[in-house]
Amino acid sequence: MTLDVKYFRGSVAAVHSVLKHSSCPENVYFHFVASKNKDFQELRQMVKSIFPSLSYKVYSFNEFRVKKLISSSIRQALDNPLNYARTYLAEIIQPCVERVIYLDSDVVLVDDIQKLWSISLTGSRIIGAPEYCHANFRTYFTNNFWSDPKLSNVFQGKKPCYFNTGVMVIDLGKWRKGDYTVKIEKWMKIQKEKRIYELGSLPPFMLVFGGEIEGIDHRWNQHGLGGDNLVNSCRTLHPGPVSLLHWSGKGKPWVRLDKGNPCPVDLLWMPYDLYRLSSIDSFDDQEPRAMI
């Protein structure tokens, strides 16, 4: 997971949910990635104070590695360099770690994460994630992309489906061997020249891994609970069983709760909220307070 000031409260709730529903919480190790800036030490100390028995490490992320590759997207939050840290996990995390589950900060689990961990990545599959083949895949890329055969042929012979990069099981060993960070950066460089997509870090993943994803049950990513990327709207749960709730989109549950206008699904996030803000204006004024 990543850590930053704006989403720290969400990260704390996500960690709490993982531990609460894990059959063996002592076996869960957290890899946190935070930008190498003035808040790094304070974020690390806050994790230690809130979860004194947690097994974890906080890694620093050099934003300058990716800043020059980022193109503006339809929502400013998507342009945060830390949003691209998932591309560099194979470099950031020590080589002895060959498999991780990546989670966004706006999720909570309501099931045992061991079940997600045990999913097999068959053959050459590097990423496991729920796929949504009913979504119109073409809309994630511009006409500049589809009208250029040299670019669009990347999907030739494949059946790519939309997948959300907020929940992924990743084989870092295979990623390192295939040098997939460079492959993603290649598409980001093309984007700077030709504007082939509108969304931040998601499209490069789809360009590299589309059609080669290990499909996981949809219960592991009930996404879109924050509305879409432009409108903070209320959404209902999708039909079927749920193991993970994901407030992807513009609206975040802690923000809506603090403003006194939560959506019904935000009440499902509340039991995991261990972090209350004494002031939302200054990071220095934020005080963690356990609610258990």
Over the chain (292 residues), the average pLDDT of each successive run of 10 is 96 97 96 94 95 97 91 69 95 97 98 97 96 92 96 95 96 98 96 89 95 97 87 87 95 94 95 66 42 34
Give the burial class of 276: count Cβ atoms within 10 A of its Cβ; 0-12 exposed, 13-18 middle, 19 or more buried: middle
Q: How far apart are CA 140 and CA 201, in angstroms?
A: 12
Distance of alpha carbon 197 from alpha carbon 229, whole angstroms: 14
pLDDT at position 73, please? 66
Pairing state between β 214-215 and 107-109: unpaired
Position 200 scores a pLDDT of 81
Q: Supply the pLDDT for residue 78.
A: 65
Spatial CA neighbour of 266 closest among 254, 276, 277, 274 = 254
pLDDT for 198? 85
Tokens of 286: 């934020």
Give the tokens for residue 231.
């409108």
Ramachandran bin of 175, using left for φ above 0, alpha for ψ from -120 to 50, beta for the remaining angles:
alpha
Single pTM value for the model: 0.90
